[in-house]
A and B are shown apart, each in its own frame.
Chain A
Amino acid sequence: MEIDPNRRKVVAPGYHAPEELATISGDRGLDHEEKLIFEIGRDGVTGVDFPQTQISGARLGGQQRKTAIGLPGLSEPEVIRHYVRLSRMNYAIDAGLYPLGSCTMKHNPRLNEKMARLPGFGDLHPLAPRATTQGALELISSLMNWLTTLTGMPAVAMSPKAGAHGELCGLLAIRAAIAARGENRSRILVPESAHGTNPATAAFAGFTVDEVPAKPNGHVDAQALKAKLGPDVAAIMLTNPNTCGLFEGEVVEIAKAVHAAGAYFYCDGANFNAIAGRVRPGDLGIDAMHINLHKTFSTPHGGGGPGAGPVVLSSALAPFAPLPLLVADKDGFKLIEDRDELPDGAKPFGRMCAFHGQMGMFVRALSYMLSHGRDGVRQASEDAVLSANYILASLKDVMSAPFGDGPCMHEALFDDSFLEGTGVTTLDFAKAMIDEGYHPMTMYFPLVVHGAMLIEPTESESKASLDAFIHVLRGLAQEARAGKTARFEGAPRLAPRRRLDETAAARKPVLRWRRDNLPQAAE
């Protein structure tokens, strides 16, 4: 048997792959096509047994439903098979590396899932009597302690449901703080390399966005930033390390200038994984930072959610943290939900959402933190930075790294200069990675370089995994430059679907199944 360390397959000498075979079913081995539940379901079938119950309808205010809803009926075995087959069409971290810059796709420990499902956490009502929820409130308090200690900040708002929601929370606190000073400041400075949620949130919170350019070396132009400060600037929003994967070394001077101008410093915490356990953002002078628990603290991405975005706050902003507040008194922990019961100095700007936050994600994050400990958190950050630099060093001779002269943080940025003249775009390159068994890296972000490719391996990859990934990317880059573009044309070919027509999907949106299969609804 040949075992090529860089190829995953073990092949016998003389082995030939079979010719393409058209099957009768249309399925291919373990790759099964799967219809919609509406096409599978039938009347009179159910996956849950309930008795038929007589009701009088007298208590329904005349609002009893008169028509069928139209839901399909399926038995339990059919439901399981349907969703198992669907799952097998998905890539996942458990199955392979995700080199997605700014997403921090690290391993999701299974212990966290078990802890979140303990009945004392999972089967607890948010409005249950205080005496019956002390363990949950204590858990939230512990997590708050971890977050404030790791960041070196005095306070944290726990209710935001995701990173973008956390950004909104931070900006609303800033807005309230400015109003409390009797001032009116409506401009927010945002680097042009920022993640889209930054300007979107700023606009959402009622501010106007003023873009700060990046310097050719990928860092924010601190001079330009300081020049834009003025009495109408409410805040700056910086990501540090920034979206090019670089630590903003001038951050302390920037913070000082921002504060001197009467403004606040919002830090996007998406890249906290590079510095957790080593650097405390509070020491750098920030006023607010959201922490994506689904990035740095491993809560699962779940195909798009749920997230959690608690926001650490400086002493200047802490008084404005939204309701509810968690306090401890002689009877134990308590949630303050009523403005009449506020502790001294608290002036919450309002409420971000119902109830108290993403408890399910809090349990998972605390489980992660307790497992790692402060030494594990620091080691994880180091390994994340080490792995990204290893990839940068291993690829920069065949790919183009605009800021590759120095080290990067936890993610390495490449652009498409190395593809110039080949006819292969960043998109083609990425789609070819799919055929190689990899999810593509983050593409076309940040916007400050052309055809960006942002690679963040995280600390969860073994060296063998990194080496295999590097080997593939080197191969793809070399083939593109040598004019061997066949594998890029029309990629991917080996995924459950080939390239999909996104133009048609946007021009004539079909956003639901309809019994009569008409693509557009009548008014």
Chain B
Amino acid sequence: MSETFFTDQHEWVRVDGDTATVGITKYAAEALGDVVFVELPAKGRKVGAGAEAAVVESVKAASEVYSPVGGEVSEANSALEAAPATVNDDPEGAGWFFKLKGVASGDLAKLMTQAAYAEFVKGL
């Protein structure tokens, strides 16, 4: 049963066994506007929790995407290269950015649940 966790930087992470999938939230995608380009990490790259892992660009802005948890990049969503709009259409599903393996489950404890994130966003 995989649960989704959230950061205060508007990333989400879904863990399945020791693989984690990371993306940006609906709130972030709406704030960014039309996504035009995504710069994804290379396979094999090791990232720490909170480290900059990707960049998402709209016409007028570029934002860093921080990895919510530490691990090694096992896959990047190359479909976003040809169709960056997927991030706007389905940010928390098909618009995922990258997957990590070797994730430390302890990192998840520091993140927000779906309900907590929804509260957090209300307060913004």
**Which residues of A are in contact with B by a Cβ distance under 8 Å?**
502-503, 506-507
By beta carbon, the residue of chain A nearest B83 is A507
Alpha-carbon distance A18/B34, docked complex (angstroms):
39
| A503 contact set on B, CB distance < 8 A | 33-34, 36, 58-59
Give the CA-CA distance A503 to B36 in the complex, in Å: 6
A503 to B85, CA, bound (A): 10
A507 vs B84: C-alpha distance in the bound complex, in angstroms?
7
Q: Does B117 contact A (CB under 8 A)?
A: no
Q: How far is the CA of A3 from the CA of B33 in the complex (A)?
A: 45
Task: Enumerate chain B residues within 8 angstroms of A506, measured Cβ to Cβ.
Answer: 36-37, 57, 59
B43-66 CB mask vs A (1 if < 8 Å, else 0) is 000000000000001110000000
Closest to A505 in B: B59
Using CB atoms, name the residue of chain A closest to B85: A507
* Residue of chain B at shortest CB distance from A502: B59
| A474 to B64 Cα, complex, angstroms | 39
Q: Contacts A503-B36, A503-B58, A506-B37 given; 10 further ones with Cβ under 8 A?
A: A502-B59, A503-B33, A503-B34, A506-B36, A506-B57, A506-B59, A507-B34, A507-B36, A507-B37, A507-B84
The CA of A502 and the CA of B33, in the complex, are separated in Å by 12
| Least CB distance, A391 to chain B, in whole angstroms | 26
Residue ranges of B at the interface with A (Cβ–Cβ < 8 Å): 33-34, 36-37, 57-59, 84-85
The secondary-structure label for the interface of chain A is helix
CB distance from A203 to the nearest CB of B (A): 14
A residues in contact with B57, CB < 8 Å: 506
Residue numbers in B under 8 Å from A502 (CB-CB): 59
A311 to B24, CA, bound (A): 44
Sampled A-B contacts (12; CB under 8 Å): A502-B59, A503-B33, A503-B36, A503-B58, A503-B59, A506-B37, A506-B57, A506-B59, A507-B34, A507-B36, A507-B84, A507-B85
Q: Whole-angstrom distance between the alpha carbons of A507 and B34 in the complex?
A: 9
Residues of chain A within 8 A of B58, CB atoms compared: 503
Question: A507 vs B37: C-alpha distance in the bound complex, in angstroms?
Answer: 7
A442 → B minimal CB distance (Å): 14
**What residue in chain A is nearest B59 (Cβ atoms)?**
A502
The CA-CA distance from A506 to B59 in the complex, in Å, is 7
A506 to B36: give the CA distance in the assembly, Å.
6
A505–B57 alpha-carbon span in the complex (Å): 13
Complex A-B, nearest 10 residue pairs according to Cβ-Cβ distance, in ascending order: A506-B36, A503-B34, A502-B59, A507-B36, A506-B59, A503-B59, A503-B36, A507-B84, A506-B37, A507-B85
- Complex CA gap A506/B60 in Å reads 10
With the chains together, A76 CA to B84 CA distance in Å? 45
- Look across to chain A and name the residue whose beta carbon is closest to the beta carbon of B37: A506
Complex Cα spacing A401 to B46, Å: 48
- Which chain A residues border B33 with CB–CB below 8 Å? 503
Q: Which of B34, B57, B85: most chain A CB closer than 10 A?
A: B34
Residues of A within 8 A of B37 (CB): 506-507
Provide the bound-state CA to CA distance between A502 and B36, in Å.
Answer: 9
Expressed in whole angstroms, the minimum distance between the Cβ of B36 and any Cβ of chain A is: 4
In the complex, what's the smallest C-beta–C-beta distance from A452 to chain B, in angstroms?
A: 14
B57, B59, B84, most chain A CB atoms within 10 A:
B59
Q: Report how far A32 CA is from B37 CA in the complex, Å.
A: 35
Q: Give the distance in Å from the alpha carbon of A79 to the alpha carbon of B60 in the complex.
A: 35
Note all chain A residues with C-beta closer than 8 A to B34: 503, 507
Instruction: Chain B residues near A507: list those with CB within 8 A.
Output: 34, 36-37, 84-85
The answer for the CA separation of A336 and B33 in the assembled complex, in Å, is: 53
Q: Which residue of A lies closest to B57 (CB)?
A: A506
Question: What residues of A have a CB within 8 angstroms of the CB of B85 in the complex?
Answer: 507
Which residue on B lies nearest to A503, using beta carbons?
B34
Closest to A444 in B: B60
- Bound together, the chains give a CA A502 to CA B34 distance in angstroms of 9
Give min CB distance, B49 to chain A, whole Å: 22
Q: Kindly state the separation between the CA atoms of A487 and B72 in the bound complex, as whole angstroms.
A: 53
B76 to chain A, nearest CB (A): 18
Chain A min CB distance to B78 (Å): 16
Residue of B nearest to A427 (CB): B60
* Bound Cα distance A365, B85 (Å): 48
B52 to chain A, nearest CB (A): 15
User: What is the bound-complex CA distance between A474 and B58, given in angstroms?
Assistant: 33
Give bound CA distance, A382 to B37, whole Å: 46
Q: Which residues of A contact B84 (CB under 8 A)?
A: 507
A163 CB → nearest B CB, Å: 22
In the bound complex, how far is the Cα of B57 from the Cα of A507, in angstroms? 10
Q: Within the assembled complex, what's the spacing in Å between the Cα atoms of A507 and B36? A: 5
Chain A residue at minimum C-beta to C-beta distance from B33? A503
Q: Tell me the complex Cα distance, A505–B84, Å.
A: 13
- Distance A506 CA – B33 CA, assembled complex (angstroms): 13
Q: Which residues of A contact B36 (CB under 8 A)?
A: 503, 506-507
- Nearest chain A CB to B35's CB is how many angstroms away? 8
CA distance A419 to B36 in the complex (A): 28
Report Cα–Cα, A503/B33, bound state, in Å.
Answer: 9
Docked complex Cα distance between A462 and B7 (Å)? 54
A506 and B37 CA atoms in complex are apart in Å by 8
Whole-angstrom CA separation of A52 from B4 in the bound complex? 73
CA distance A480 to B108 in the complex (A): 47
Q: How far is the CB of B64 from chain A (nearest CB, A)?
A: 14
Tell me, in angstroms, the Cα distance from A503 to B37 when the chains sit together.
Answer: 10
Shortest B29–chain A CB gap in Å is 13
- Give Cα A57 to B94, complex, Å: 59
Q: Which chain A residues border B59 with CB–CB below 8 Å?
A: 502-503, 506
- Complex: A371 Cα to B36 Cα, angstroms: 49
**How far apart sit A502 and B58, CA to CA, in the bound complex (Å)?**
10
Give the Cβ gap from A199 to chain B, nearest Cβ, in Å.
Answer: 14
